Amino acid sequence: MNDPIRTIGFIGLGHMGGPMAANLVKAGHRVIGFDLVPELLATATGTGVEAAGSAAAAVTAADVVITMLPAGRHVLGLYRDGGLLAAARPGTLFVDCSTIDVADARTAHDAAVAAGMRALDAPVSGGVPGAEAATLTFMAGGAHTEFAEAEPLLAAMGRKAVHCGGAGAGQAAKICNNMILGVSMIAVSEAFVLGERLGLSHQALYDVASTASGQCWALTVNCPVPGPVPTSPANRDYAPGFAAPLMAKDLGLAANAARTAHVPAHLGLAAARLYADYAAGAGAEQDFSGIVRTLRDGTATAPGCEPASDPKDGTPA
């Protein structure tokens, strides 16, 4: 059976949202979009998105509303003050694909339900290349029926969608995964720096660790030193890839969630501090694996337990 053609209100047509909306159009859906930046709205119309005059106007005829925004305050602001919940038809499914604080995701979910809507949090991994190629992975939180309804749309924008549990579970999965990634990238980087001081070549350490118990994605895909993995950002002077400020944001969200849940995530909090400092300085426009340079030259700040970021949404303060 063919999936139904839906009318989608799409808010936030930036690096990720622009190509995601374009892929929904390619799949045959009607997409009515809005972004505060007129140039982004104009680019989106070139891909078949219909431009709305405001966020609220983009959702009045929608079956499904998708948001792809910087942080929780933008999502909550638009849902409430921006009038999205008031403008949409009762029963409309709200799917937030932004990466936001778990508590904000639950608040957004509750606000949508209180307004007579249905809601799903569905953050993504895969970055801009994944958004362009429709190969994103979605991590969803919400009821089974809402996930089932959203699935064909997620399939048009990605390769995999995992239903992680109730409201906020998608955001929880996203930040837990990225906490593993941030900590493991620092561990791999520190091991290479220690190996250098001990006279070990990068290739020798790679050949051992990549087939031994040190094996991980940070080593074998995104190797932080040039040479062993020719496609890793280290071979192009750390051009992203996954930009350090995005890792700092996600670790800030993880640190906030750990504090709220009273979890003593010692390494996660230390990684949040190190990435916040790196992203605010040398790493502002670099891949997150470039942190190896600050670890090597000793300029990485000794980790404390508080990330230098807005504790609410993980964006730099």
Active site residues: 174
Q: Which of 6, 29, 74, 118 binds ligand NAD (CB under 6 A)?
A: 74
Q: Which of 21, 105, 124, 172 binds ligand NAD (CB under 6 A)?
A: 124
How far apart are alpha carbons 121 and 107 in whole angstroms?
Answer: 11
Closest approach of ligand NAD to the CB of residue 18, in Å: 8
Residue 78 interacts with ligand NAD (CB under 6 A): yes or no: yes
C-alpha dihedral sign at 122, 37, 314, 75: negative
Please say which residue, 122 or 223, places its beta carbon nearer to ligand NAD. Answer: 122
The DSSP line for 40-83 is: HHHHHHTTTPEEPSSHHHHHTT-SEEEE--SSHHHHHHHHTTT-
Residue 70 interacts with ligand NAD (CB under 6 A): yes or no: yes
How far apart are alpha carbons 30 and 19 in whole angstroms?
Answer: 15
Residue 83 interacts with ligand NAD (CB under 6 A): yes or no: no
Residue 99 interacts with ligand NAD (CB under 6 A): yes or no: yes
| Residues 12-31, mask of contacts with ligand NAD (x by CB under 6 A) | xxxxxx--------------
Please say which residue, 92 or 205, places its beta carbon nearer to ligand NAD. Answer: 92
How far apart are alpha carbons 123 and 196 in whole angstroms?
Answer: 38
Q: Which of 36, 51, 155, 208 binds ligand NAD (CB under 6 A)?
A: 36
| 208 in Cβ contact with 221 (< 8 Å) | no
Closest approach of ligand NAD to the CB of residue 35, in Å: 4
How far apart are alpha carbons 25 and 185 in whole angstroms?
Answer: 37
Q: Is the peptide bond before 165 cis (omega within 30 degrees of 0)?
A: no
What does the binding site for ligand NAD look like in residue numbers (CB under 6 A)?
11-17, 34-37, 40, 55, 68-70, 74, 78, 82, 98-99, 124-125, 127-128, 246, 249
